[in-house]
A = this chain, B = another copy of it.
Amino acid sequence: MKVGILGATGAVGQKFIRLLQGHPWFEITALGASERSAGKKYKQAANWIEDVAQPEYIAEMTVANCDPSEMSGVDFVFSGLDATVAGDIEKAFASAGIPVISNAKNYRQDPTVPLLVPEVNPDHIELIPTQTFTEDGSGWIVTNPNCVAVPLSIALKPIHDAFGIEALQVTTMQAISGAGYPGVASLDILGNVVPFIGGEEPKIAPETQKLLGSLSNGTITRPDYPVDATCTRVPTLNGHMAAVNVKLVKKPQSIDEVRSAVLSFKNPIAELDLPSAPKEVIKLHDEEKYPQPRLHADQEGGMQLHMGRLRSGVIFDVSFVCMAHNTIRGAAGGAILNAELLVKKGYLQ
């Protein structure tokens, strides 16, 4: 299938390009970026920050404006656009009959738009037909969550299914790549911690609740547990870590019961053999010093969710840490997996 990348020169766009190299189903045939880049060869337009060589054929492609008329011939587009422009551009593509698999936040809370993590809520794709961008249903939008909501929702899914979440407290230690490029100034973060990330904390409740919600009759019924969150930036490159505390509706007998729920998690897309899916979705570490961003963020192609330090608390029923690669699992890789699911389910063809 022919795909276009919106926001192709940015950090997320570069990750799309990297991850799609050699993809068995998808071939990049169009690159869209801002006016500043449009008309240039990609190698001149982009300040390449990936640690693999820029693919030759991409380097020589001419960047287009993010306009459906300039990127014709694609079967769908991935969007790594900045939220300041994603709203209009993604709508324009969907309205032109081009499905948009987006990493931007703009449509995440739209009740007709799936906020999708294939291992968590694959059935939410059934929302797609309720979208009204086109009359014939050919254009639509699917989004993936914020890079913190992704690991949280995966880690919480088996726990929520088994016990129900009553309250959630999260403290994150997030990697610099989450801020894009140039992003965080080195003087702000080298040997430092910044105890605030603008806009991050308020996303956790609505995004995890929509992801863990159940769809019926075209409507998602969300759990509405309270959330307290503190999001911080630390000097790691990739891999957002979260220290998580959860109160449960149904009390487990012991922490082993929770452990069992996690270990026996039934991955709903296991049978589909999607190219970007990790074999083991949740890796639960027993060593107290694990997981760690440097050691585990890249495992299984950066698509695995790592949990550790699973234990009982005294205020909360369960405490653990979880970590996943923020720009792969938490952004471009997650979007690609979404597209793969949508192919298998017949929405993309």
Q: Which residues of A contact B (CB under 8 A)?
A: 49-53, 167-169, 171, 173, 176-177, 181-196, 198, 226-228, 230, 232, 234-237, 241, 243, 245, 247, 288-299, 308-309, 313-316, 319, 321
A-B contacts, 19 listed (Cβ < 8 Å): A51-B294, A51-B296, A171-B230, A177-B187, A181-B185, A182-B187, A183-B185, A183-B187, A191-B191, A192-B293, A192-B295, A193-B234, A193-B293, A195-B321, A196-B289, A226-B315, A227-B314, A228-B314, A230-B243
Most buried by B among A51, A52, A234, A292: A292
Q: A195-B292, A228-B313 are in contact. Are A185 and B187 (CB under 8 A)?
A: no
Determine whether the beta carbon of A190 is less than 8 Å from that of B190. yes
Determine whether the beta carbon of A298 is less than 8 Å from that of B51. yes
Q: State the number of copies, please.
A: 4
Nearest-neighbour CB distance to chain B for A175, whole angstroms, equals 9
Distance in angstroms between the alpha carbons of A334 and B202 in the assembled complex: 37
Determine whether the beta carbon of A293 is less than 8 Å from that of B167. no
Q: A167-B315, A295-B49, A299-B51 are in contact. Are A192 and B228 (CB under 8 A)?
A: no
Determine whether the beta carbon of B187 is less than 8 Å from that of A181. yes
The residue of chain B having its C-beta at the shortest distance from the C-beta of A294 within the complex is B192
Q: A227-B314, A228-B313 are in contact. Are A243 and B195 (CB under 8 A)?
A: yes
Nearest-neighbour CB distance to chain B for A223, whole angstroms, equals 14
Distance in angstroms between the alpha carbons of A208 and B228 in the assembled complex: 22
Nearest-neighbour CB distance to chain B for A231, whole angstroms, equals 9
Determine whether the beta carbon of A176 is less than 8 Å from that of B195. no
Determine whether the beta carbon of A289 is less than 8 Å from that of B187. no
Determine whether the beta carbon of A236 is less than 8 Å from that of B192. yes
Distance in angstroms between the alpha carbons of A185 and B181 in the assembled complex: 7
Q: Name the contact of A187 in the complex, choosing from B52, B176, B245, B297 (C-beta under 8 A).
A: B176
Residues of B within 8 A of A192 (CB): 236, 292-295
Nearest-neighbour CB distance to chain B for A167, whole angstroms, equals 5
Distance in angstroms between the alpha carbons of A298 and B50 in the assembled complex: 11
Determine whether the beta carbon of A292 is less than 8 Å from that of B193. yes
Q: Name the contact of A230 in the complex, choosing from B49, B176, B321 (C-beta under 8 A).
A: B321
Residues of B within 8 A of A182 (CB): 182, 185, 187-188
Distance in angstroms between the alpha carbons of A167 and B315 in the assembled complex: 7
Determine whether the beta carbon of A191 is less than 8 Å from that of B294. yes
The residue of chain B having its C-beta at the shortest distance from the C-beta of A189 within the complex is B186
Residues of B within 8 A of A308 (CB): 195
Residues of B within 8 A of A297 (CB): 51
Nearest-neighbour CB distance to chain B for A251, whole angstroms, equals 16
Residues of B within 8 A of A309 (CB): 195-196, 230
Distance in angstroms between the alpha carbons of A245 and B299 in the assembled complex: 33
Determine whether the beta carbon of B169 is less than 8 Å from that of A245. yes
Determine whether the beta carbon of A243 is less than 8 Å from that of B235. no
Residues of B within 8 A of A173 (CB): 173, 193, 232, 234
Nearest-neighbour CB distance to chain B for A284, whole angstroms, equals 13
Residues of B within 8 A of A237 (CB): 187, 190-191, 294
